[in-house]
Structure 1
Amino acid sequence: MSILEIIQDLCAKKGINPSKLEMELGFGKGAIYKWDKNSPSVDKIQKVADYFNVSTDYLLGRTEIKDTSGIKTLAAHRLDGYDKPLTDDEVIAVNAFLEAYRKGKQSKKD
């Protein structure tokens, strides 16, 4: 999917159209539609990512993982020396490890 298609999909899920998104973010009229042929600035990509609470990698089609919060981001991306994307089971294992680690760390503080 292109960045335009991804943004159109996100807009549809939010119940808005790209024109409304452009207005809300202060972009010029038709700016997002131009991204189908011209690359947007990093600043504009970041604004759209922040608006939809997704990563810039998701907008650029580099990952299918939308959630950018803490542990899930770490588990979703490639780890140092690991050259393949993590499987769902590996993501769950990393999440479980980090949760246990944090609980253990919190117990030491108490």
Structure 2
Amino acid sequence: MSIVDRLQSIVKERGTTFKQLERDVGLGNGTIRRWEEQSPRLDKLTKVADYLHVSLDFLVYGRSVSEPAASSKLELDLRAEKERGGLTCDGLPLSEDEVDLIAMYRLLPPSHREELFDLAYFKYKRVVEQKKESIYSTYFDGSEDEKSGPAGSREARDGTA
């Protein structure tokens, strides 16, 4: 929405016209309509904003400076979720990382929440049941020595066998 569109909305809301507004603030006839093609001078825009009792930020951006831009809204939502916290699990307070995870989870759409939950459950089940079903466990058992597989032992692979 442009400055002229916002002004049109305000003028219509107040039951007046651009012609009357221009006359009241000392602008030439048709000045506001020309703002669709060329940027208004600050002194003229300030007169209009003062007369209509709106901020320059509202006329130019459609919002006041104190309202966050859309990109920072997500950060504020995340911070608000964390501050609402005071969260505990099994009677213990959550760490900052855990609180961050919960806050981010809450901000996700339901389909993404389900996907994240499935991943966490998969990892949890694997750790709790100590399953080694991945191909990775075929070659590595957590120690420095790898198990033999297609590449053979470390000595054979490194040429020191």
Regarding TM over 0.5, the answer is yes
- Mean CA deviation greater in 53-62 or 4-13: 53-62
1: CA distance, partners of 2:15 / 2:60: 21
2: CA distance, partners of 1:36 / 1:77: 25
Deviations 1:32-81, CA, capped at 9 Å, x for gaps: 00000110111111111111111101001241x4xxxxxxx7xx245xxx
Percent identity between matched residues is 35
2: CA distance, partners of 1:20 / 1:62: 23
Indicate the residue corresponding to 1:69 in structure 2.
none
Partners of 2:6 and 2:62 within 8 A in 1: no
Indicate the residue corresponding to 2:8 in structure 1.
8
Partners of 2:4 and 2:35 within 8 A in 1: yes
**Matched residue SS, 1:10:** helix
Indicate the residue corresponding to 2:41 in structure 1.
41
Indicate the residue corresponding to 1:84 in structure 2.
72
Partner amino acid for 2:21?
Answer: L
Indicate the residue corresponding to 2:32 in structure 1.
32
Indicate the residue corresponding to 2:60 in structure 1.
60
Deviation at 1:84, TM superposition (A): 1.9
2: CA distance, partners of 1:24 / 1:2: 22
2: CA distance, partners of 1:60 / 1:34: 15
The two structures, once aligned, show a CA RMSD in angstroms of: 2.1
Larger Rg: 1 or 2?
A: 2
Uncovered stretches (5+) of structure 1, i.e. residues with no partner:
66-72, 91-110
